[in-house]
Chains A and B, each alone.
Chain A
Amino acid sequence: MATVLVLCESKGSALRGASLPAVSFGREMAKARGAELALLLVGAGASAAAGDAAKLGAQRVIVVDDPRLGAYLAETWAPIVARVAREQGADVVAATATNLGKDLLPRVAALLDCGMASEVMAILGPSRFRRPMLAGNALAEIEVTTPTLVATVRQTEFPPAQPQGTPCEIVRVEAGAVSDLGAAFVALQETKSERPELTEARIVVSGGRGMRNGENFGFIEKLCDVLGAAMGASRAACDAGFVPNDLQVGQTGKVVAPDLYIAVAISGAIQHLAGMKSSKVIVAVNKDAEAPIFQVADYGLVAQWEKAIPELTEEIQKLKSAQS
């Protein structure tokens, strides 16, 4: 039977939350094509997350758990995903457009010799999708014409899949021959943070070039902490070295769509708007009343951040204490 195969990422015994929107895409796709849904977990120790995956409404969960797959490499993973896809008779292979998804899935498409849709925002037909172009300033309707297709899914456009029904079967598949083509994982220089992950947070507070230095981002951090928010930044602020690059929100950084996005001292370049304009509620704090960010903001406050942000932190603190 036709099958939609969705690659899920795991971290220890948990599925990455970022993969759940791809599962929703998979369910919708399986319905549109009258197909079954299979979820795929790959990596050393990936079995630990299989129980969680089995509750997500798929017909089966396939696990390729092998010590040789300890660190992610496109070179070793792509042939495994492509082989499982062939064995399962999958005609759709999808994953969320996380960094891993974006790195891996085109290579899988090359091995399956099929067409691919990137950053899908909506399913319009069995092979027809909506996706953004030109930093989100244009929306394309595309048709993939090959019988098999690969897709990455924009995380902010599909709801995270919720557990449903009884757990499905879990099938273990051997990794078989693994060749890394000489490529090797050397190290991960992790950005440590106690705050929620940027792409999964309900509230995001971002600072821009107007923060002037890294130390001043401390004021943004305090506001994040009272809100339980993740911290982001504009490209200008990252380029200037105020904060680590992986906090960048925008066309070439992270795409976020939280319930509340607060942009502080960010002018609102097209590049930045592309990464946050799907947020439910947008607040802009900027001293320049003409800043383009105000054109997309639901609530705009023309003010110096030096005064407004500590005050906002205090007001929210008051509100929270009154609530608890």
Chain B
Amino acid sequence: MKILVTLKRVPDPEQKIKFKGEALDLSSANYVVNPFDEYAVETALRLTEKADAAARIGEVVVVSIGPKEAAQQLRSALAMGADRAILVAGDDASLDSEQVARIVAKLCEQEKPDLVLMGKQAVDGDSNQAGQLVAGYLGLPQACFASSLELSADGKTLTVGREVDGGVELKRVPLPAVVTVDLRIIQPKAVRNRVTSPEHAYQEGPRYASLKGIMAAKKKELREVTPGDLGAATAARVKIVKIVAPAARKAGVKVETVQELVKKLHEEAKVI
């Protein structure tokens, strides 16, 4: 099985956001792999290994679009165990979802993966579009917001648990397909490939790179291309005019007792 995983570098969500005029000030930002994309890498690795025998049984290709520095995030995915990487040159602060999806779709035509795995959204842009767009452009089935995945015995279909309003929906898609992953996909038994024993429980969360993995990653292929090379050089359709800080909510008052709280809610705020 061959899986293409997309990976975006994002400003560390734990860091305080700075503004400069009507734009973000990213001059001192630390970049990390978008958490949902890291979960997608973990998911891809789980699908392409026999975990109880530590054997690889498929190929994972990680793709990022960004400046040269984004190679660092690709190397971290290679260190986790991905097989090779592709870095598409681009300005990750101004690309819109459509440009990203066009590039990924072109790479899919070249690489012909059995599965495209993506994070459900990048935690900087929060657009939640790219996966669905790729599926739409390629006419492939989609399963978004996956919290579990199970490969069929013949390896040709996936049953995906999707987190929807009011519960979990099970959807079956034939491969090739596009799947975007949600938080819960990294739970110990969320991914089943029928090769790893169903009893096997993973450590929760994305795996850490071993020292051996980090050394091996340095020798793995990291190919650099441009959108032009792929025939996917398009202009942004969604332009960011400005970015500002939201109005701060003013802190209220502390109450001493439950009785005082109920009185305030009833008489002052009038919400009960």
Contacts and interface: CB of A to CB of B under 8 A. Distances in A.
B208 interface: no
A186 B172 contact: yes
B239 A145 contact: yes
A186 B170 contact: yes
Contact of B167 (A106, A189, A294): A189
A53 interface: no
B201 interface: no
Given A270-B13, A295-B251, A319-B266, A102 B128 contact: yes
Contacts of A32: none
Interface string B82-96: 000000000000001
B258 A312 contact: yes
A145 B245 contact: no
A183 B255 contact: no
Contacts of A102: 128, 144-145
Contacts of A277: 249
A266 interface: no
B133 A139 contact: no
The number of chain B residues touching the other chain, given as a range, is 35 or more
Contacts of B236: 145
B173 interface: yes
Interface string A247-281: 00001100000011000000000110000010011
A138 B147 CA distance: 28
Contacts of A136: 246
B225 interface: no
B interface, by DSSP: helix, strand, loop or mixed?
A: mixed
Interface stretch (A170-178, A213-221, A298-306): A298-306
Contacts of B17: 134, 137-138
A251 B123 contact: yes
A22 interface: no
Contacts, number: 249
Given A118-B127, A301-B261, A186 B243 contact: no
B139 A181 contact: yes
A270 B238 CA distance: 26
Nearest to B98: A115
A308 B258 contact: yes
B61 to A, nearest CB: 22
A189 B254 contact: no
Nearest to B242: A141
Given A203-B271, A312-B258, A106 B129 contact: yes
B54 interface: no
A180 B142 CA distance: 11
A145 B239 CA distance: 7
Contacts of A316: 262, 272
B243 A302 contact: no
Given A182-B174, A203-B271, A118 B254 contact: no
A251 B129 contact: no
B233 interface: no
A98 interface: yes
Contacts of B24: 138
B243 A235 contact: no
A189 to B, nearest CB: 5
Contacts of B141: 75, 180-183
B133 A109 contact: yes
Contact of B165 (A99, A270, A302): A99
Cβ-closest 8 pairs across A and B: A110-B136, A115-B237, A106-B132, A298-B252, A186-B170, A182-B174, A183-B141, A106-B129
Interface of A: 18, 73-75, 78, 98-100, 102-111, 114-119, 128, 132-146, 180-191, 197, 199, 203, 227, 235, 239, 244-246, 251-252, 259-260, 270-271, 277, 280-283, 294-303, 308, 311-312, 315-316, 319
